[in-house]
Amino acid sequence: MTTANGFHGNRAMPVLRRCWTNVGLALALVLRPARFRAPLPATPRQFAIGAGVTLLVIVITIVLFDAAVVRAVMHAPRWIIWPFDQITDFGKSGWVLWPLGLLFLALAALPDDRLTKVSQAVLAAVMVRVGFLFLAVGVPGLFVSIVKRMIGRARPLVTGAVDPYAFSPFIWRADYASLPSGHATTAFAILVACGTLWPRARTALLLYAVAIAVSRVMVLAHHPSDVIAGAVVGTVGALMVRHYFALRGLCFSVGADGALHQFPGPSLRRIKAVARELLAP
């Protein structure tokens, strides 16, 4: 954590205090005023059109497809359902947020005063990327966790029948928290966030996101319209977090044309050099 980025290290400072101090400074960086100007990914008119089209697609899916798909899944052979049953839990946000959160705290607790300026910059860059991934997945996930309970749509078969129109707003129960799908939100947020930092992994990430979204329908945890809504929220939410970071010069920059560009990430060789410095007697 470099002085230029606002981080501070002191070998005499207890580990917890050092961690707390660096986390506070990291939050200050994230919450600082925007340093650049860049147009939003969509104009208000484009956003309104996109929201309208998305809502129309969801309504059409509810009316024409949700009940039919649920009935088809109910009669599907077990061998078709089994693979989706094995992978569906890998769409839980905890698989991503807990490791990222713990990694961020561990990085914040490192005694960086023994590092060179270059190594401090490398460590700061890693922390910024970890923070970006955490927020890009966590923010849309938190949004969905609240909104889905306000909408109060019943999960498939909760009422004892195939009824895609069963809604009980503000009931705040897990069995009435179907729309949007939290797993689909997480999967597509991961697709956008990780795909932004590692473009070569986008194909594998897309396959993962689609598999998780389909699995939620196949295990009768969600209707098709639920996963469509979750995919949209996860995608848009991660893009908005990326835009927020870029305006503050964190992990991304804003070009002269207003386009967002990723800062070059630290190489594996640089990261190994940091580790060697930290482990040196």
Q: Answer yes or no: is 128 within a domain.
A: yes
Q: Residue 260's pLDDT band (boundaries 50, 70, 90)? A: confident
25 within a domain of the structure (yes/no)? no
Q: Is residue 108 situated within a structural domain? A: yes
Indicate the number of domains in the chain: 1
In a domain, 26, yes or no: no
Tell whether the model's pLDDT for residue 86 goes beyond 80. Answer: yes
Q: What is the pLDDT of residue 265?
A: 84
Give the model confidence (pLDDT) of 112-147 as tens digits.
777 888 888 889 899 999 999 999 999 999 999 999
User: Does the residue 18 lie in any domain?
Assistant: no
190 in a structural domain: yes
Distances (CA, A) of 120 to 53, 59, 276: 47, 51, 13
Report the percentage of the chain scoring pLDDT > 90.
70
> Does the residue 244 lie in any domain?
yes
Q: Which of 1-5, 142-146, 230-234 has the lowest mean pLDDT?
A: 1-5
Strands (E) across the chain are located at: 252-254, 260-262
How much is the average pLDDT of 219-225?
Answer: 97
pLDDT at res. 13: 56
| Cα distances (angstroms) measured from residue 183 to each of 39, 140, 141, 170, 190 | 30, 11, 9, 20, 11
115, 121 contact by CB (below 8 A): no
Which pLDDT belongs to residue 276? Answer: 87
**Residue matched to tokens 């009669």:** 75
Confidence of residue 10 (pLDDT cuts 50, 70, 90): very low
* Average pLDDT rounded to a whole number, residues 66-80: 96
> For residue 136, is it within any domain?
yes
Q: Domain span at residue 207?
A: 43-279
Q: Which residues contact 33 (CB under 8 A, 6 or more apart)?
A: 248
Dig out the tokens for 116 from the structure: 């060179």
Stated as kind and residue range, the H or E segment containing 213 is helix 202-218
Residues 64-86, mean pLDDT to the nearest whole number = 96
What is the structure's pLDDT at 254?
84
Give the pLDDT band of residue 213 (cuts 50, 70, 90).
Answer: very high
At 270 the pLDDT is: 87
This prediction has a pTM of 0.91
State the pLDDT at residue 6. Answer: 46
Backbone angles phi, psi at 116, to 5 degrees: -70, 165
pLDDT score at 128: 95
